[in-house]
Structure 1
Amino acid sequence: MFFASDNAGPVHPQVMDRLNNANDGYAMPYGADPIMDEVREAIRNLFEAPEAAVYLVATGTAANSLALACYAPAYSTVFCTQVAHIHEDECNAPEFYSAGAKLTLVPGTDKMTPEALRKTIEGEEVRGVHGPQRGPVSITQVTERGSVYTLDELSALTAVAKDYKLPVHLDGARFANAMMALGCTPAEMTWKAGVDVVSFGGTKNGCMGVEAVVLFDPKKAWEFELRRKRGAHLFSKHRYLSAQMAGYLADDLWMKTAAMANRNCARLAEGLQAKGASFLHQPQANMIFATLPRSAHRRLHDAGATNYIWEGSLEGDDPDEHLAMRLVCDWSITPDDIDTFVSHI
């Protein structure tokens, strides 16, 4: 009953098999391995972007930060939500890799709105040389609260950015979960909606540790390569990144694992609702934020369940006080795990 994070799940056997196959003999380093050629072509085909520049790094923080650095000069600011991963969970890495660009938070709750984004953009670049200049807009899909932007919502946000000639970055750590929830294509959720660069996540969805950065403007390729090397994220034994991504893409595994994670989440949400849980955000992909009485949380904890208490504490005298929890499903969770968890409520 492990619902703490999709970072904690196992690597899919298909990915492990490809890694094992890659561990035979020799291959040129630094991304010159033949598997990377396969990966590059596969991702370009998936995104319907034959000219796109495709690179691999080992972490989502590196993917987001290096991608943003290519579009955010040191004197600029990146526009993101108050709960964006780049703001809450990356220890100022975007600022570090851009050599000083700041983040400007767009007010709101979970999702960014076009109105709030426009107002926030208008509030910058008004002090001449004394203030930050407008930089990229960064959108998280799936959001940090488990919501999914529709294609129309994405297009509305990118339209605002384009009104000010600003590039758009998509943090896609859970890209596959969002795409499967929407029933769209990778192209429809990125460049066709106005996105300039995307972090295409693998780690949370069955890989060991690999993320792809897809730049739809190939003119940014060399800059990204230099920033990746300077930032110490160019792997010498790169074939082990390539092999993971190749295994992840083969036979549409990345879509299958995301669909499994989303189905697991839907089953869990249904069980929670039947037990009287309230949702802080409507579950749309593979994350749930729900409240239950402290007594129920304690029963789950005592039964060996692992998840985060989001608001409140297990310590307290009132067994009926409602505490919020975060539950995340990955591809490997079984129906029995879910049903057992719900039964202890």
Structure 2
Amino acid sequence: DWVIETAIGRPQWTISGAKRPMAVSITQSTEVGTIYGLDEIETIAAIAKRYSVPLHMDGARFANALVALDTSPAEMTWKRGVDILSFGGTKNGCWCAEAIVLFDLDRARELAFLRKRAAQLFSKSRFVAAQFEAYFKDGLWLDTARHANAMAARLAAAIEDSATAKLAWLPQANEVFAVIKKAEAEKLQAAGAAFYDWHKPHGFDGHISEDELLYRFVTSFATTADEVDRFGQLIA
């Protein structure tokens, strides 16, 4: 919260010629497989409100975070101070299906006009949006997210048991990060494993040697337990 307050509370934002922050945006779950807790979201929202900027939630992996926290969509968004949500389905089984959800009715009414003005009105978009009917039916979207998260936990356990790889940090959703020697990673990829290297986070240098890299693994609704177990055998 100190970092956010420092960034949006700078004195120069009061100068008329300066560019001012227009929103605070958080990603739930994040690109590194972590999740904001409900109290953390509420704290960030309070800071945003203090400086009169809206809080946006990038929910590309919204379902994964939701099932991991075992909460409701309302509890993870507007009840905690989120103003606008980018609700994603593409990373959880849909094709190009994303939705913008505003929790202020006046802003919601204006959105259709803003979309047109910004040249974002995609012709025949109803065929994309129709996927959401099947996505939500009988809780399918939650089931696919739970499966992806479970496969990530299974993969993390295999990496923890490995003599040739180590977890960078514990996954909270469906992304797993591991430190692996470059030569070993090349062998795994040659054997058919699909993953790629990732930039080192700030302050992570002390956790990785020169012959190692940080690698990112992503599990999905389509990942099978057999695939994870076969990878576990490769790194055993």
**What TM-score, normalized by structure 1, do the two folds share?**
0.62
* Distance 1:310-1:126 versus aligned 2 partners, 3 A rule: closer
Identify the residue that residue 310 of structure 1 maps to in structure 2. Answer: 198
Q: Does 1:230 align with 2:117?
A: yes
1:301 partner SS? helix
Question: AA paired with 1:337?
Answer: E
Whether the 8 Å CA contact 2:9–2:51 is kept in 1: the answer is no
Candidates 316, 320, 331, aligned match of 2:221: 331
Shift of 1:311: 4.8
* Distance 1:160-1:127 versus aligned 2 partners, 3 A rule: closer
Where does 1:150-169 land on structure 2 (aligned, <5 Å)?
150-169=37-56
Distance 1:297 1:130 in 2: 50
Whether the 8 Å CA contact 1:147–1:281 is kept in 2: the answer is no
Q: Deviations over 1:229-255 (max 9, x none)?
A: 233332332331232111111111110
Where does 1:81-120 land on structure 2 (aligned, <5 Å)?
114-120=1-7
Whether the 8 Å CA contact 2:178–2:214 is kept in 1: the answer is yes
Identify the residue that residue 322 of structure 1 maps to in structure 2. Answer: 212
1:341 partner SS? helix
The answer for unaligned runs of 5 or more in structure 2 is 201-209
Whether the 8 Å CA contact 1:171–1:198 is kept in 2: the answer is yes
Distance 1:125 1:215 in 2: 30
Whether the 8 Å CA contact 1:124–1:131 is kept in 2: the answer is no
Shift of 1:302: 1.5
Where does 1:171-320 land on structure 2 (aligned, <5 Å)?
171-276=58-163, 277-311=165-199
Q: Deviations over 1:90-111 (max 9, x none)?
A: xxxxxxxxxxxxxxxxxxxxxx
The answer for unaligned runs of 5 or more in structure 1 is 1-113, 313-319
Report % sequence identity: 44
Shift of 1:159: 1.0
2:141 partner SS? helix
Identify the residue that residue 203 of structure 2 maps to in structure 1. Answer: none
Whether the 8 Å CA contact 2:159–2:167 is kept in 1: the answer is no
Distance 1:274 1:266 in 2: 13
Where does 1:137-156 land on structure 2 (aligned, <5 Å)?
137-156=24-43
Distance 1:192 1:250 in 2: 24
Cα RMSD (Å) = 1.7
Q: Does 1:132 align with 2:22?
A: no
Shift of 1:182: 0.6
**What TM-score, normalized by structure 2, do the two folds share?**
0.90
Using CA pairs under 8 Å that are at least 6 residues apart, name the structure with larger relative contact order, 1 or 2.
1
Distance 1:182 1:241 in 2: 28
Q: Which has the higher helix share?
A: 2
Identify the residue that residue 10 of structure 2 maps to in structure 1. Answer: 123
Distance 1:115 1:133 in 2: 18
